[in-house]
Structure formats: structure tokens, C-alpha cells
Structure 1
Amino acid sequence: MLKNKVAIVTGASRGIGKATAFKLAQHQVQVVLFSSSEEVMETAQELEHLGHRVLAVRGDVARESDVQSCVTQTIEQYGKVDILVNNAGIGFFKEVEATSLEEWQRLFAVNVQGVFLFTKAVLPYMKERGQGTIINIASDVARRTIPNGAAYTASKYAVQGFTGAVAQEVRKLGIRVGTINPGMVDTYFNNSIQGDPQKRDWLKAEDVADAVIYMASAPKHMVIDEVMLHPLIQEYPNV
């Protein structure tokens, strides 16, 4: 069902983005890796050594010229974009008074503006073909709030709202848009260490990648609006 489709994955150098790129490649998807980190080239080499054809592009999701360059290179090399996974994101947890304007602005630039720019860039090509799937990796805090997380929570609420509105705009054109909202995931998020023993019972990056596969491989007549997943050990208010 996914064979020979073309997918752009942002934040693809490590964590959820890297796991998603590997899962898509295993399903014979042509993967375009986008990241601001040099590590994206290492991820590309790993996939190529496994026999997968990939395109790796370095850039900033918050810079329109970088985003457009990635999409243009994708079209030039593959001729289409079937799937966009807006995964790139950053986060920190501070009281409002301890949060600087620069921190706030950068958080929204990556977490929200990046989603907007990539979505805007791929939509003309998806509309032209009358199909496409856009998957935005948000967070369970897109549906609830947490202390010391005003900036991060607000950015994920923005992604959730943006996703819902765009989904309504384009579903009549055959384009599906949805969110994946994970709880605690063992990644490098917030400058933590992936594989830390304290996070052994958290979700793995591959768990979220599996949710991406589930959403992307749904039958054409079906849209999965939202997937929420948590580790069994996580306690949280009803969402």
C-alpha cells in the first residue's frame, strides 16, 4: 500500500524522525530526510547501506527558502510528494516568568511555523494529483495542559488547531491531514538522553513511527484524524 510512495520527514536525523524514516523505507517508500543537523547525512548513509534510496536535505524548518528548496528537490528527483511527516520540534519546560521572548519565538518558529511552511509548500503538488497525506507529530499536551509548559503546550495546541482547519480545507480534494499525539517518548527531547534507564518503560520512537505507518497506510476512503498514545505507566488527566 505504501510501496513507491514518496515521503518527506522533518527532524529526520534522530529520535522519532529517524525511526519514522526507517519504518517508511522498510515499506519501500522513497524517503526524503530533512533536518538542520549534520546527523541527517549519517541517517541517510545508514539507510543507503541497507539498500534504500534516499534524499537528505539540510535546512531550517522555520526558513521558507529552506523548506521550498527541500520540496523542489523532492519534486525534481521523484516527481511527487505523497506523504509529509511534520516531526521537527523542540521543547523546554519553564515558568512563564523565566521564559525569554527569544525562547518563545524560536519554539513557535520550529514547532508551528515549520508545520505551516512545509504544509503550504507540499499542498500544490498534492492538490494537482488529488491525493496526499500530511501527518503532524504534536503531543498529548495538544489536548491538556501542564505546569511549567506554557510555551510548549501552546505550540502544540496551535499545531492541533492548524491541523484541524487544514484538514477541513483539503479533504474534499482527496488530501488527508491528521495528528499523532504521543505522551512520554524515549528520545533526545529537551536535551535528555535516549536510552536512559529511567525511561525504559516510556514509549519508544519506533512506537510513534508505527503510528505514522498506520495513519499513512489507511485506505484511500478513510482519514484518521488523530492518534493518541501513551506508555502504560504514564498517569495523566482525562484528555
Structure 2
Amino acid sequence: MTTNQVAIVTGASRGIGKEIALQLAKKGMKLSIIGSSEDITKTAEELKSSGFEDVLPFQVDVANEQQMNEVVAKTIAVFGTVDILVNNAGIGFFKLVEETTVEEWRKVFDVNVQGVFVGSKAVLPHMKEKRSGTIVTISSDVGRYTIANGSAYTATKYAVQGFSGSLAQEVRDFGIRVGTINPGMVDTYFNNSEQGVPEKQDWLQANDIAEAVVYMASAPKHMLVDQIVLHPLIQNYPIA
């Protein structure tokens, strides 16, 4: 990772994505940030007020191929290139299988899986042409084991792991690196919860995930970091 590189970060309105954008900006990167609501404009304004001027906000649906292609095209038109894509956008819920609706199932797959596919596909022609690039996807530790009441969310994270592994093999000869960050419990707004509440004080923080992204993207060009798994010390989890 060098100054003046260009990154696209999805799900950057708040939480992990917003912190990833901030940490990349601190490294001197130019940013296109994506969110599904008008809050993405507020994130851009906050970054600019902190002295990071090279920020483009986009309110788009990460599962929409045309919209994501337009984000990539606009990013290249303004900044000249795309060096890093961070697929961070994600949603989740926890219900029994028989209580899960088809609409809920489709929605979580649209964002968590199709969004990763569409975003990655959008940057590949440019990265292949310049024979370099890094694609980082924020997955989850439940992409390595299963949990009750989380069939849809867990299934999407297994899908993301499979997709990322296959893509990494497809593009390595082009100098493109693909990896996943797999966090355990993180203090965010996930599943409509509150961030910063006392019961989450010992959980991972958004900045922990952002630093892992910086590490993965900063690895020497000859090195591929396939996966990073992070857990808070207090978390009990199955050994994969």
C-alpha cells in the first residue's frame, strides 16, 4: 500500500466500513465509499472535515451490477485507477429456519454474496489490465463453522469463502490478490443492535477489523494473505 493509491469501500456509512475508510484515508489513499442510504454523504463530509479531500460518496445497491459498474467507471475517471476493493457491505439476522421468510433469505444473499460477486467482477477488468490489485472481503468466523438460528447468514459466509478462494486462483497470474477477513463478535450496529453499549466492551472494535484490512492490503506484492481470523479473547467458539 502506497500513498495516492485508490480504494473502493462498500458499506462505509457506519461501523466497520466507516472505520476502514478512515484508516485507508490516513494511509494517504483516495476513496470511493459506498452506502445504501444518504448517510454515506455524511461519512464523506466527516472525512473531508478531517482533512481527507479525495473522497467520492455513492448511494447505490451493491448487488446492482449496473450501479457498481458505474461506481468503478466514475472512480477511474476521477482518480485514474482502482487499487483496492473492500467488500464490507453485509447484513444479517438470526431466526429459526422455519421462521425465516424467502424474502429475508434472498435479501441477505443479495447483499452478502451477490454484492461481493458484483463488486469484484466490476473491478476485475481494470485490475487485470494493469496486472495488480487487491480484493478484500469482510466475511465472518461463521464462514468456518455453523451456529443455530443463523442458517441464512452462515450460508452466505460459507459462500463468500468459496467464492473468494476460487477467485484468488483465477486471478493470481494477473498479480491480483484476494483474501477474506473473518471476525468474531464485533461492537457494531449488526443485526440492528447498538454500538458502544457496556455489554460489548470486551468485543472486537471496528478499528481492529480496519487494521486487519490495512495489513492485508499492505503485504508485499509477492505475498498473499488468504485469510485473517480475529476473535475477542472472551469469545468461545468451535475449533474449525
- In which range does the TM-score fall when normalised by the shorter chain? over 0.9
Match status 1:215 vs 2:233: no
Shift of 1:136: 0.5
Q: Distance in 2 between matches of 1:54 and 1:36?
A: 17
Secondary structure of 2:44's partner?
helix
Shift of 1:63: 1.1
1:201 aligned residue: 202
1:188 aligned residue: 189
Secondary structure of 2:137's partner?
strand
Shift of 1:185: 0.2
1:151-199 CA-partner distances (Å, limit 9, x unpaired): 0000000000000000000011100000000000000000000101110
The one-letter amino acid of 1:2's match is: T
Q: Distance in 2 between matches of 1:49 and 1:122?
A: 29
1:20 aligned residue: 20
Match status 1:42 vs 2:42: yes
The one-letter amino acid of 1:26's match is: K
2:174 aligned residue: 173
State the percentage of identical aligned residues.
63
Q: Distance in 2 between matches of 1:238 and 1:68?
A: 39
2:114 aligned residue: 113
1:138 aligned residue: 139
Secondary structure of 1:203's partner?
coil
Q: Distance in 1 between matches of 2:113 and 2:50?
A: 33
Match status 1:83 vs 2:116: no
Structure 1: segments with no counterpart, 5+ residues:
none
Q: Which runs of 4+ in 1 moved over 2 A?
A: none
Shift of 1:31: 1.0
Match status 1:60 vs 2:38: no
What's the TM-score, normalizing by structure 2? 0.99
The one-letter amino acid of 1:95's match is: L
* Equivalent residues, number: 239
Shift of 1:33: 0.4
Q: Distance in 2 between matches of 1:188 and 1:2?
A: 31
1:232 aligned residue: 233
1:66-106 CA-partner distances (Å, limit 9, x unpaired): 11111111011011100000000000000100000000000
Shift of 1:2: 2.5
1:118-175 CA-partner distances (Å, limit 9, x unpaired): 0000000000100000000000000000000110000000000000000000011100
1:11 aligned residue: 11
Shift of 1:51: 1.4
1:12-43 CA-partner distances (Å, limit 9, x unpaired): 00000000000000000101100111111111
Q: Distance in 2 between matches of 1:102 and 1:41?
A: 28
Greater Cα offset, 69-78 or 6-15? 69-78
